[in-house]
Amino acid sequence: MIMIPDLLPGTVDRELRKAYTAFASSPLALAYEVIITGHWGCGAFGGNKHVKAAIQWCAASLAGVGKPRFICWEELEGDSFPVAFRNFMDVIRADGRQGPEDVLGILRALGPEDVEEGGDGVFREILKRLR
């Protein structure tokens, strides 16, 4: 088990409110079709990019954003995050039964020590619980 401070009680909702506010702030006439974003935060609350990305996707979906697009500088350094996030989103979209509310419910239910492996383990745990 690893410790993921981003999953401490209240943290998911705090991050969701910040992201939703940013994504929903456009007037309807200027609604975003695509949001280009990356890893948010300074790491003071853990900075787990898998948790942050899932929250950003949920916030963008709830705000009615057409498609969030993540720019990941780590991609140049061989980080597995871009592929893992794409695969995570592909599974959710292909299933079609679950949406952002379901993912948020799981994120809220996960404790800071509920993920067995770091990194991609967050996505695997969410998908396991969605089934």
Global pTM value: 0.84
Measured between alpha carbons, how far is 125 from 128 in angstroms, rounded to an integer?
A: 5
pLDDT tens string 73-127: 555 566 778 788 888 988 988 887 888 999 999 999 998 888 877 667 899 999 9
Structural domain tally of the chain? 1
Domain residues for the domain of 80 are: 5-130
Q: What is the pLDDT of residue 13?
A: 96
Q: What is the pLDDT of residue 106?
A: 96
Closest CA to 89 of 126, 62, 114: 126
Which secondary-structure segment (H or E) carries 35?
strand 34-37
pLDDT tens string 14-66: 999 998 998 887 666 456 666 667 777 666 667 888 899 899 889 988 888 76
